[in-house]
Amino acid sequence: MSEGMLSRRQRRRRFEIAFRAAGLLSLGAAAGTLVLLIGGVLTLGLGAFWRYDVELDVTLDRDTLALEGEATSLSVRTADYRSVVRNALQTAFPEVGDRANLRALQGLVSPGAEFDLARRVADTPALIGERITIRAPLSDDADLYLKGAVSRDDPPDRRILTDRQMDWIDALDAQGRMRRSFNGGFIAHGDSSYPELAGVMAGVIGSLMAVGLGVAVAAPLGVATAVFLEEFAPKNRLTDFLEININNLAAVPSIVFGLLGLTAFIIFFGLPRSAPLVGGLVLALMTLPTIIIATRAALRALPLSLKEGAQALGASRLDAVMNPILPAAAPGIITGVIIGFAQALGETAPLLLIGMVAFVATPPSSALDPSSALPVLVYLWAESPERAFVEKTAGAVIVLLTLLIMLNGAAAYARRRFDPFRR
């Protein structure tokens, strides 16, 4: 081997070593960024999945409840449960007498205590006149204090609790009245102006309905378009123009599709704002180019012998497409559809333009009911001034990431499950 050839081989080996090192460095950077992202979200958001309650002994006497005459269903539901909770707190701290301190003491307990007590008494009216023990959810500020997010050492301008309020919380904790539990309401409840009562259920249901409707519209339309362009359409300037525009539409910002949905579906067709139906149609328009491109790529990846063999046995072009071409391309098609809508699940901008930013406390019961969406909840909570909405925002991101992981896992499973060439 000549000296020049030896030198070139050594340079190629050095380049290969440097390329491998750069690849490992890139993988390490990507893994580190992912760990940092997930770690930060979990650190901020895990607190949203548990909460603190305080045990209070309440007396449900008729005078405090302001019940006169026969207790009807309406009067029981609208009774003065706030006074019942306030009296229970005042009994625990009899030294608190003036109105300002009593208001500060009552501010440690969430209004959710009154709502829960009203539902409990409405279900069991025989409790009226009895003395019972309830678990009242703490307010967002008191809950943050017990979680360690609020400290006595905080600067005065950042204080959300007074020293006396912290003393009352510590006293209740020392009496063994504080209870830590899983915050099921964060999963089961809708949005609320009280951070400790806010949940993601309405956003999750709205997102799943919109994505489901989008899949029902875009998947068959996108697959049919891709099959026509790939297998039946003649190759001319028109089809070339269509292919270029489909590829360009895949790169259009999502907010443009939101503007299109606002103009076409709400203004022109008169569909209701904030409805999952409109959200699904907008997501379908946004995802349609991705489905077409993924389906065409899956069709092109198949060996030409599949179609030629079917036609050699007497199958028409349509017969060959229906079997065996589409079944063989199913893993790639399903993967493209799921990944496209997994990306659409996290979109916020187009949903804001069609009005899914409205405050919705209950999940929608139909596709025409007002609804929110999980990414919109994240956006709204991130803008809220209450400090407790920080952990709620991160908790909603955890729920959103969980849904995305499930969708991507479904895509990976479908690719393996329906791959005809996998042994």
**C-alpha of 53 from chain center:** 26
Q: Is residue 63 located within the same domain as residue 205? A: no
Strand 178-182 with 131-137, pairing? unpaired
Neighbours of 281 (CB within 10 A): 24
Would you call 368 helix, strand, or coil by DSSP? Answer: coil
Is residue 390 located within the same domain as residue 359? yes
Q: Of 122, 154, 183, which one is at a domain's C-terminal end?
A: 183
> Based on the domain organization, do 330 and 212 belong to the same domain?
yes
| pLDDT recorded at residue 420 | 63
Mind listing the pLDDT tens digit for each residue in 242-274? 888 888 888 888 888 888 888 989 888 888 888
Among 285, 282, 295, smallest CA distance to 209 is for 282
Supply the pLDDT for residue 327. Answer: 85
Residues 140 and 237 in one domain: no
- Is residue 337 in some structural domain? yes
Location of structure tokens 């307990």: 109
What range defines the domain where residue 165 resides? 47-183
Looking at residue 412, what is its pLDDT? 78
Amino acid at the residue 270? G
Same domain, 126 and 243: no
Rounded distance between C-alpha atoms, residue 353 and residue 231, angstroms: 37
Question: Shortest CA distance to 416 belongs to which of 330, 301, 307, 349?
Answer: 330
Residues 135 and 225 both lie in one domain:
no
pTM for the model? 0.85
pLDDT for 217 equals 92
How far, in Å, CA of 312 to CA of 320, rounded? 10
Q: Looking at the structure, tell me whether residues 165 and 255 fall in a common domain.
A: no
What is the rounded distance in angstroms from the CA atom of residue 80 to the CA atom of residue 411? 53
Query: Where among 135, 154, 183 does a domain terminate?
Result: 183
Q: Are residues 233 and 138 part of one domain?
A: no
Task: Tell me if residue 130 falls in helix, strand or coil.
Answer: coil
Same domain, 174 and 217: no
Residue with tokens 């000549």: 2
| pLDDT score, position 31 | 93
Q: How far is CA 260 from CA 246, 255, 257, 290, 400, in A?
A: 16, 9, 5, 17, 26
Residue ranges of alpha helices (H) inside 228-345 are 237-249, 254-261, 276-300, 304-312, 317-320, 326-345
User: In angstroms, what CA-CA distances link 385 with 193, 375, 389?
Assistant: 11, 18, 8
Q: DSSP character for 355?
A: T
> Is residue 4 situated within a structural domain?
no
My answer on whether 378 and 254 are in the same domain is yes
Which residue type occupies 344? A
Integer CA distances (angstroms), 303 to 300, 335, 337, in order: 8, 19, 22
Task: Examine residue 213 and state whether it is found in any structural domain, yes or no.
Answer: yes
Q: Quick one: pLDDT at residue 74?
A: 82
Amino acid at 197: L
Does 23 map to a domain?
no
Count of domains forming the chain: 2
271, 383: one domain:
yes
Is the residue at 158 inside a domain? yes
Same domain, yes or no: 205 and 353: yes
CATH code of the domain in which 391 resides:
1.10.3720.10
Radius of gyration of the chain (CA): 30
In a domain, 121, yes or no: yes
Tell me what pLDDT residue 354 has. 85
Residues 6 or more apart whose CB falls under 8 angstroms from that of 58 comprise 84, 85, 87, 88, 117, 131, 132, 133, 134
Q: Is residue 40 one of the residues assigned to a domain?
A: no
Distance CA 109, CA 144 (A): 13
Domain end position, chosen among 183, 215, 245: 183
Assess contact for 108 and 165: CB atoms under 8 A. Answer: yes
Low-confidence stretches of the chain (pLDDT < 50) are none
Domain membership flag for residue 16: no
